[in-house]
Amino acid sequence: MYTKDKTGIVMVGRAMEILDYLAGKDKPVGISEMAKDLSLPKATVFRLLNSLEEWNAVECSENEGYQLGCFLIKLGRSASKDLHLIDICKPYMDRIMKEVDENVNLAIEYENAMLSIYSTYSNSSVLSIKTIPISPMYCSAIGKAALAYYDDEKLAAYFKRQDLRKRTAKTIITREAFEKERERIRESGLAYDDEEYEEGLFCMATPLFNAEGAVVACISVSGGYGRMMAKKEKVAEVLRQAKEFIEIYTESMDRFEL
């Protein structure tokens, strides 16, 4: 992989290979196994591991082998501390909007509702003038994407205390009805607003998780019912792809700034 002539560059490259290799292991690895897997001399691996161990980049258990060290945690935190949630999501949201030509919204939970913190608008959509900064959870796709991951006790409390009114004939207003949809959302990773918030409007949303498995935000795509139904599968695909990439960041962060 590394073809530079300078010894220092080659050794740095090999050290990175070792770290990348250990990152993919769920248990400590011995020198012999590592050298074989990486096609490197055992002596080279030994020297590199000694250097990495001095920096606490790897840790050695005499009986078990080598694993990643605590110094890498420090590096990871330093790399992610300045990343803001909107900054992370914005390029992916802009890409979704260009691919499906519909409005894309990012929201967080706030006071038992969803607060929009960033939106990108399609030039062809009339919905850009209708975006509301706060949406109810029970009848919006972006809200149901978060609501589906409440535990049973929290979900029961939500439906008990909220004033749930039918906005359209399709609006779900009981916990029993939502339980069926909750299961489907958890299986597919996607929530739908099928004209439940407003007639003629179809929305699709997906939750974003942190390392603890908690929902930190949701992303939705909104558009006219006919247009969205015609490209429903494509919207689902691009949402899932964006979710996968965004969660590389959100799953490695302890906290977020907007």
**Can you give the pTM of this predicted structure?**
0.68
pLDDT at 202: 95
In sequence order, which ranges of 81-121 are alpha helices (DSSP H)? 85-100
- Domains of the chain and CATH, by start: 7-79 (1.10.10.10), 82-250 (3.30.450.40)
pLDDT at 249: 87
**Helices 42-54 + 31-38 axis angle, to 10:** 110
Q: Above 60 in pLDDT, residue 81?
A: no
pLDDT at 219: 97
Q: Above 70 in pLDDT, residue 129?
A: no
In this structure, of 54-58, 124-128, 137-141, 211-215, the range with the lowest mean pLDDT score is 124-128
pLDDT at 2: 38
Q: Above 90 in pLDDT, residue 255?
A: no
CA dihedral 14, 19, 25, 31 (to 10 degrees): 50
The mean predicted confidence, pLDDT, of the chain is 87
Angle at 57 between CA 52 and CA 58, to 5 degrees: 80
Question: For residues 73 and 57, is the Cβ–Cβ distance under 8 A?
Answer: no
d(CA 18, CA 71): 15
